[in-house]
Structures are given as structure tokens and as C-alpha cells.
Structure 1
Amino acid sequence: MSKILIRGAKVLGGEPQDVLIDGAVIAEVGTGLSAEGAEVVEAAGKVLLPGLVDLHTHLREPGREDSETVLTGTRAAASGGYTAVFAMANTFPVADTAGVVEQVYRLGQEHGYCDVQPIGAVTVGLEGKKLAELGAMHESAAGVTVFSDDGKCVDDAVIMRRALEYVKAFGGVVAQHAQEPRLTEGAQMNEGIVSAELGLGGWPAVAEESIIARDVLLAEHVGSRVHICHLSTAGSVEIVRWAKSRGIDVTAEVTPHHLLLTDELVRSYNPVYKVNPPLRTERDVLALREALADGTIDIVATDHAPHPHEDKDCEWAAAAMGMVGLETALSVVQETMVETGLLDWAGVAERMSAKPAEIGQAQGHGRPVSAGEPANLTLVDTAYRGSVDPAGFASRSRNTPYEGRELPGRVTHTWLRGKATLVDGKLT
């Protein structure tokens, strides 16, 4: 592989520096660097980050290739600055065996736009009744360390306890979709003033918060690790904050859309705003931003949930839940966290690269931008502002809530172990 000289980039938003890539690693970081025969990328004014890592992505393959595939999903990831994604288990068949997770893992290796780490199901068929082959999936070629029934809650406390006990043996983590099913039967949106006015079934905050409270106590009892997926309420923030104050081994994520959008948008009855967990109130949004800034919420994860046109272009009650997010996540975080002064770019790198890589044990990712480290890098034109046009997405699906909305920032380059996957905003 040839040498690449990234010239004048603001590493983690700091002072301009040059970064020399030699093969798959960063050879040198400094000022006034030169390298004979190196490809030069002029990066003055742009911010250089370690490649982003998404702990919560739905790639849909196998089984729903009409909405996304490992190829299209990883191309979307590279477009958004990601060098590694964790693929959720709610596929068809469910990723609850070593065979299925190995299939997804190898598809990721074949396509090469980013690393793909499968997440294994906690229970067989996501049915919540019997533990899946956790040990076999961990020992497989995929080396699964994160397990989740995302899309469904592991609502049985005994099953959840057993899962936490099982993964403790090899340092794994259970990622919980916190949703008490009996409190959300028929729910269509956040329970509150807007749902009452619209006559839509309400999704109460307590349905999320009660599961989180139970699970952090189970994790404390077992001495295991639990991760909270797509935390969405101010009450959930307080529970996680309390748990961390007790030394409980809990981590949590927030999605970009829960940092920006509120349930007021549902007044349009546009199913693009239908998502699980639902969009909450402005109070919740502000609490989530503050919690991400102070570290109560550890990471940003996209919950990239692609759906074909026919599953979203229908009446609200019949529409599928979910939004695509890989290609807009960094822009939303720039608007909600950086431009508000809540985070600097080093903080963004911690929450979108280093910490998710640590939680998921993504080897070689989330590393510092320094000599000797793998050249997994993302270059961002932070001065750019433009309207979101889903027609240009690399994802197979277009169900974005940001269509036509002006957002800041644009990923111009992504490198995976020194190989460019995105150059001047175009996939290689």
C-alpha cells in the first residue's frame, strides 16, 4: 500500500498537524512532514478523528435484503465516517447461532468498506424464553462479545439474570432494549400531551425506566456488565447516573435522533418520525444532551434501521418503526453537541469512537491518532452546511427524518487500515 500524507488537519479539533500513513498504520504525526511519493490530502481547516464505531446498526442481512445488505450498509457506514459497526441480531434467520454470526462476519470481511462485528441474540429466536448459544457464538470465528435481543426486550428477569451470568465468564456484555411489553401494547408514540391530542396510543417513559432499574440491579447482583440501548428519557438518565454512582458496571447509548427531534414532529403524522423508542419531549432531549456531555451516557449509537419505501410510505399505525442514521449521525452530533458548546471534537471522538470500541472490544478501533496505531481515520469538513438529500445515500433505504433539513459537517475521507473507503465524499 502507498503512503498517504494528510496535511494540515486539526487532529481532534486541535492545532493543525500532518499525519503520515504508511500501509495500514500511522507512521508519524507532526508538523512539516514530507514523504517522497506519498499521496497528499490537503486537509487545512478540516478535523481529523479516529474512525467512528457504531455499537448499534441494523444491516438486515440475512433475510431483509430489500431494505439493506451488509454491502450497502457498510458503504453507508463508510460514507458517514465509520470504520466499524456492530450488526444487530434481529435478522431472518435470527443471529442466535454460530453459523449465522459467522455468515454476517464473513460478508463484512468480503466487502471491506468497514469492519462488521455481529451481535448475537440473547434468546433463541428473540422469543425471550431460552438462552441462545452465547458461548458458541463467542467461540466462533466472529468472536461475539455483545448480545442483544434488540427490537424486543428481555423482559423475563430470570432469563436476563442467566444471560448476565453467562457472559460474565468471558467478559461479554448484554445490551438491553429497555421496553416493558405490557406497558407498551398498542403504543404508537411518546405518552404525553401530544399523544393525547392526536389520539395515538401512548408509550410511557416508565416502560423504559422500569426495565433499566431492574437490569442495573441485576448487573450489580451478578457482578456483570449491562449496556442500555437507545436511552431516551430524562428518568432513564437519572437511573443510570444513580447506578454509576454505586459502581454498577453499566454503560448507555443515545441515538442522534433522540438528541435532536421531539414528539412534536408526530403532529405531521409522517411515519418517518415513527421510531422505537419513540421521540420524546424537549425536556428529555435536553437531559440526554447534558448526560452525554457529562459522561452519564457513554456513547452515541445510530440504531440505523433501514426500511423499504412501502414499509414507511403508509398510514402511521401500519408503518414500521425506525430511521436510517449512519450517514447523518456525525452531522447531528455536531449540531446538537459541538455547536452548542456541550462537547469539543475530542469529546466527540471519545463518544463515537474510543468508548464504543471499548464496550464492544473492537480491536484496532477507537485508538489515538498517533504513530504506530492502525490508520482507521475520518476527515470532516466541519465548515460545510447543506440540506440532507436521501437520494444520494449509499444505504439501500431512504427513511431519514432529516430530508431537506440543513445540517452542518460533511465527511470527506474515511480510511480503514490505511485504505481509502471514501475520497472527497465519494465511495471508492
Structure 2
Amino acid sequence: MLLIKNGRIINPATELDSMADLLIVDGKVSEISKNIDIKKVKNEIKNIGTNFKELDASDCIVSPGLIDTHVHFRDPGFTHKEDIISGSDAAAAGGFTTVIMMANTNPKVDTIETLNYVYNKAKNAKINVLQEAALTHDFKDKLVDMDELHKNGAVGFTNDGVPVMSTRVLKEAMLKAKELDTIIALHEEDNSLISTHGINDGMISKSLKLNGAPRESEDVMVARDCILALNTGAKIVIQHISSGNSVDFIRYIKSMGANVIAEVTPHHFTLTEDAVIEHGTLAKMNPPLRTSYDKKKIIEGLKDGTIEIIATDHAPHSYDEKNVEFSKAPSGIIGLETALGLAITELEKKGHLTISQLLAKFTINPSNIYKLDKGDISVGKTADICIFNKDEKFTIEKFHSKSSNSPFIGKQLYGKIKYTICNGEIVFSDQYIDKL
């Protein structure tokens, strides 16, 4: 039993924004009201003993636990970078109570055997860990058994990290996804147009004597896949959108009735290609950081609802892997422990989104899109909760992740995480406002 006192409860699922207390009993939200009388509660519920805890959430927001629909925990196959347990620890420290893992592991998650391995290991995680299956075997041209993988718990299908180049195969996959009422998430880069991955083809790449990844390498794939979604009726997610032109096209295709969802990472609405000069390979990711024009378009898309999901694309790499010349380094940065802070600092504090609008993109939107029955802390719902102080500054110094490949080390952000609660249990605490 857990009582959260004196918090500002924001639940975008119901548009609740109120100063109130929240009571958790048996892992569920039992009551939300002003000044819950703990003496009365204790009298009504026997045998509480040491199982009762009280948290003072003064000056804090009590929100649904955050949901990340795009993480790489590198398990199986690359566990020197991250594994399901360490990744879950990092997620909890960032306020996340549910994550969806990508399939580009070794072996890839394209069989029931590998999917079962993931879910068996995830039983020991602090948070809810879900898995998207690969769309094609070994990310090549043969579709996986979508029926069986879906039946065994895959929450969607993706070849993230590798684009699906065969239009025929992707159309077939979309028709099956429509039949199964599941989702396909798509990495949108035409590699034939890219000379060096991880850096925008522009002034910065030219100054480094590199030919990079042009905006059109994303735009042409987004246009193709949006048209396929429109014609098949499938639900697709455009992952980690980076091009302003793609934002505009997605807005247009939505107006035609296509079931297209747009996802963006905090680094794409925070940084531009200039970060490569300062941070080198720590600012290398696919798709790359682009221009101030693209960043402006992304923020516009967040504001008008074209972009519904904020996800991290948490992509751990070791120090030695990143500490090489730019063209040889792998792409990707970690993001779970900086995501909320970056969103508050760059979007809420700068007046682009209200805190409730921002939280919707981390909670009820991804829950509804992936049909997770999460992201809602109404009475009777599972108590997955994030408690944070949106006005408290903190400096990014160390991580719970195995990896530390982040361009944000040393940056000061708003939005300090105080507690993360999953299924009614405290899974992260910064030891600040605990009254045990």
C-alpha cells in the first residue's frame, strides 16, 4: 500500500490536472482525492504493517509512468553494450515504466524461440518490457510468420536499423498487419542515396570532407510507405523522424485518412547537425541530426499533433566502439535517462507544449497506438507512475545504463525524476522526498 501526498496529478488520458493525493492498493490506483485521511485508510485496511509507505510529492507532478516505444537493449547478442536488466534500470531512472524493444539483436527476434528468450528474461526486469518482432527473416526479403509471433506476444513488427527496400514485401506485410490489427514501425532511409551514415549531407559534412545522408533519403521512403499505408489501411509508425519535409508529408497523408503515426526522438528536436562539430561521434545517429529548418518543422509537428509519440531510440554502444574516426563509428546514442528532461527543457519551458500535452506523447498516445492499456492512472488502473519536479534543475553526469554514449553529458536540464513506480512498487527513487 502506497500513499502519494500533496502532488499535482496530471493524467492526460482523462485531462485531469489537480492538486490531490493518490492511494495505491494491491498495485492499482485505489483513490484520487484531496487530503486522503490516512488514519481512516489504515482503519479500513487491516494487516498493513510494514507494507505501508507514504511519499510526499510536494512541488512535484504525479503522472502516468512514461512509455518508450523504441529502445535497443542489445539482448541477445550484444550485451556488453546493454541487456534487458540494465536497460530496464536505465528506463526506471528516466521515469519509464514500459518499453518496447527493437528486433535488431543477434539472433534477430524473428522466431518464437528468440521472442520467448526475451520475455523469459524480462520477467526479472523492474519495469514492463515488451518486444516488437522483426518484419522479415534476418532483415532480408522473406516475411516472418507474423501470425505466430503476434499470437506469442509481439506487440508489432519492425526492421528498425534497416529499411524495408522491397515495396512488394512491405505491401504484403501491411496487408497482414491490417488483418492482425497490429502495427508496423519503419526505419526510413534509402541507403542507396547515402554515402556516410549518421551525418546530414550539408555544410557540416562538407567541412569534414564527408558526403552524408541527404534529407531526401528519408523523404522518398516516407512518401512510399505513407502511400502504401493509405491504400492498404495498415497502421504504421514512421520512426525517429528527422526531415521537415517528411513532417509535412505525414500531415498531408493523415488528412487523406491514412493511419500513419509519427515518432520523434528528443535529440532530433533538441540538436542540429552543428552538434557533430562539438561532440563528434557522440552526435552520430541514424537518421542524422539535420538543420535548424528541420528542427523547427519537427517542433511544429509536435505542436499541431502531426507527431504523436516521443521515443528515445535508446541505442547503447561501448566507449571503444564510439572512440574511432567518424566514418567508422556506429550510429546511435542512449536516451532513456535524458528524455523527459530534454522534453521539458526544450518544449515545455520554451512554450511549445504544455506539460500535459508533452506527457500525452510519452504516455496515453503510445499506449493507445500500441493497445497497451497503460498510460492512465485513473482509479482502478495499474499504478505505473512517474513523480518528477519539472522546475528542478539537474546536471547529466552518469547513467544507470551500461553505456554512456550521449552528447548531453554535462548539460543542465529541468525535470528531475524523483520516483518511478511500476505495478505499485517503487523501482527508482532519488532519496529526496521519501517518508517511510
Q: Hey, what does 1:341 align to over in structure 2?
A: 351
Write the deviation string for residues 217-257 of structure 1: whole angstroms up to 9, x where unpaired.
11111111111000011101001000111010000100000
Percentage identity across paired residues of the two chains: 32
Give the aligned residue type for 1:308. Answer: S
Cα deviations across residues 81-114 of structure 1 (Å, max 9, x unaligned)? 1111001000000001111112112211222x11
- Separation in structure 2 between the aligned mates of residue 105 and residue 168 of structure 1, nearest angstrom: 25
Counterpart-to-counterpart distance in 2, 1:399 and 1:133: 35
- SS of the equivalent of 1:190 reads coil
Task: Name the residue aligned to 1:181.
Answer: 191
State the 1:341 CA deviation: 1.4
Task: Decide which of 3, 8, 11 is 1:10's aligned counterpart.
Answer: 8
C-alpha separation between the residues in 2 aligned to 1:425 and 1:160?
A: 49
TM-score under structure 2 length normalisation: 0.93
Distance 1:187 1:399, change over 3 A: closer
C-alpha contact (below 8 Å) 2:198/2:331 kept by paired residues: no
Does the aligned pair in 2 maintain the 1:89–1:148 contact within 8 Å?
A: yes
What letter is aligned with 1:338?
Answer: E
- Unmatched tracts of structure 1, length 5 or more: none
Task: From 95, 98, 105, give the equivalent of 1:81.
Answer: 95
4+ residue stretches of structure 1 with deviation over 3 A?
Answer: 185-188
C-alpha separation in 1, matches of 2:294 and 2:70: 21
> Which residue, out of 385, 396, 404, partners 2:410?
404
Q: CA deviation at 1:197?
A: 2.3
Distance in 2 separating the partners of 1:383 and 1:340? 13
2:429 maps to a residue whose letter is V
Structure 2 residue aligned with 1:100, among 103, 114, 120? 114
Query: Quick one: which amino acid aligns to residue 428 of structure 2?
Result: L
Shift of 1:269: 6.1
Q: Give the TM-score of the pair, scaled to structure 1.
A: 0.95
Q: 1:383 deviation in Å?
A: 2.1
In 2, Cα distance between equivalents of 1:165 and 1:289: 32
The structural deviation recorded for 1:314 is 1.4
**Structure 1 CA distance for aligned equivalents of residues 222 and 117 of structure 2:** 32
Determine the structure 2 residue equivalent to 1:370: 378
Alpha-carbon separation, structure 1, partners of 2:148 and 2:277: 47
Q: CA deviation at 1:55?
A: 0.4
The separation in 2 between residues aligned to 1:257 and 1:188, in whole angstroms, is 13
**1:137 aligned partner, one-letter code:** L
Q: Which moves more between the two structures, 268-277 or 75-84?
A: 268-277
User: Alpha carbons of 1:425 and 1:408: their partners in 2 closer, same or farther (altered >3 Å)?
Assistant: farther
What residue is the counterpart of 2:267 in the other structure?
Answer: 257
* Partner residue, 1:21: 24
Tell me the distance in 1 between the aligned counterparts of 2:351 and 2:55.
29
> In structure 2, how many angstroms separate the alpha carbons of the residues matched to 1:173 and 1:242?
20
**Structure 2 Cα separation of the partners of residues 98 and 34 of structure 1:** 49
Distance 2:431 2:249 in 1: 40
8 Å contact from structure 1 (residues 374, 417) kept in 2: yes
Secondary structure class of the residue paired with 1:61: coil
Alignment of 1:29-428 (within 5 A): 29-35=32-38, 36=42, 38-111=52-125, 113-127=126-140, 129-140=141-152, 143-268=153-278, 270-363=280-373, 365-367=374-376, 369-390=377-398, 393-424=399-430
> SS of the residue aligned with 1:284?
helix
Distance 2:90 2:163 in 1: 27
Q: How far does the alpha carbon of each residue in 1:2-33 deviate from its partner, in whole angstroms, 9 at most, with x for none?
A: x2111111112933211111121011001010
Q: Which has the higher mean CA deviation after the structures are superposed, 266-275 or 323-332?
A: 266-275
Q: Determine if contact 2:240/2:264 at 8 Å carries over to the other structure.
A: yes
Task: Letter of the 1:115 partner, please give it.
Answer: N
Check whether the contact 1:289–1:336 (CA below 8 A) recurs between aligned residues: no
CA distances 1:93-143 after superposition (whole Å, capped 9, x unpaired): 0001111112112211222x111111100111012x111121111111xx1
State the SS of the aligned residue for 2:378. coil
Structure-1 separation of matches of 2:259 and 2:18 = 36
Taking a change above 3 Å as real, the CA distance of residues 188 and 424 of structure 1, as seen in their structure-2 partners, is closer
Write out per-residue CA displacement over residues 326-348 of structure 1, whole angstroms, 9 at most, x where no aligned residue. Answer: 01100000011110112122112
Q: Is the 8 A contact 2:195 2:212 kept in 1?
A: no
Please give the alpha-carbon distance, in whole angstroms, between the structure 2 residues aligned to 1:17 and 1:268: 44
**Matches of 2:384 and 2:143, distance apart in 1:** 35
Is the CA contact 1:384–1:408 (under 8 Å) kept in the aligned structure 2? Answer: yes
Counterparts of 2:168 and 2:371, CA distance in 1 = 26
How many residue pairs end up in the alignment?
416
Looking at structure 2, the residues matched to 321 and 245 of structure 1 have their Cα atoms a distance apart, in angstroms, of 33
CA positional deviation for 1:324: 0.2
CA contact (8 A) 2:265 2:310 kept: yes
Give 1:54 shift.
0.5
Which residue in 1 is equivalent to 2:45? none
Give me the CA root mean square deviation: 1.4
1:48 Cα deviation from its structure 2 partner: 0.9
C-alpha deviation, 1:159, in angstroms: 0.8
What SS does structure 2 have at the residue aligned with 1:357? helix
State the alpha-carbon separation in 1 of the partners of residues 356 and 198 from structure 2: 37
For residues 225 and 188 of structure 1, do their structure 2 counterparts lie closer, same or farther at Cα, with a shift above 3 Å needed?
A: closer
